[in-house]
């Protein structure tokens, strides 16, 4: 049974940083593209970042480029999202996803597995 468990969310102020983590089990982690998506209240889920199977390729939504960094550790079956210079508009539930989607598509569609999400609230 595949499980993706996110952690690291919380309440921060604008300009602060947070590091989200996603621990994966039940799948061959190193063969899956990993991604983060988010869903703000009343809005559709949107792509945030994705990373290739080996970690050498990354892609970001324009809204987070230069502020967020996605990384992965295939030895520990984990993927991280370092979020810097947070803004109130980054407030959302953040989801981890795994799939065989090409990371450069910059889309949250097509992923096979999803976590339950971790909430991030950025106050102004």
The whole-number pLDDT of residue 9 equals 97
Round the CA-based radius of gyration of the chain to a whole number and report it. 13
**Distance between CA atoms of 22 and 35, rounded to whole angstroms?**
10
Over range 21-45, report the average pLDDT: 97
Residues 6+ apart with CB under 8 A from 72: 34, 51, 55, 78, 79, 80
46, two tokens: 């949107």
Dihedral of CA atoms 96, 121, 87, 98 in degrees, nearest 10, equals 0
- Give residue 54's pLDDT band: very low, low, confident or very high (50, 70, 90): very high
Over range 14-25, report the average pLDDT: 98
The whole-number pLDDT of residue 103 equals 95
Q: Is 39 exposed, middle or buried (0-12, 13-18, 19+ CB in 10 A)?
A: middle
Residue-wise pLDDT tens digits, 109-119: 999 999 999 99
The whole-number pLDDT of residue 6 equals 98
Residue-wise pLDDT tens digits, 58-81: 999 999 999 999 999 999 999 999
The whole-number pLDDT of residue 26 equals 97
The whole-number pLDDT of residue 113 equals 97
Percent of the chain residues past pLDDT 90, beyond the cut: 99
The whole-number pLDDT of residue 58 equals 98
């Amino acid at each position: 049974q595949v499980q993706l468990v996110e952690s690291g969310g919380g309440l921060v102020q604008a300009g602060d940083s947070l590091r989200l983590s996603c621990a994966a089990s039940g799948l061959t982690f190193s063969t899956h593209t990993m991604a983060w998506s988010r869903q703000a209240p009343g809005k559709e889920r949107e792509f945030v970042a994705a990373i290739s199977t080996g970690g050498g390729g990354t892609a970001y939504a324009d809204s987070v480029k230069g502020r967020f960094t996605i990384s992965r550790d295939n030895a520990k079956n984990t993927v991280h999202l370092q979020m810097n210079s947070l803004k109130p508009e980054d407030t959302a539930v953040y989801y981890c996803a795994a799939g065989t989607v090409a990371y450069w598509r910059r889309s949250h569609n097509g992923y096979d597995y999803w976590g339950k999400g971790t909430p991030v609230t950025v106050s102004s």
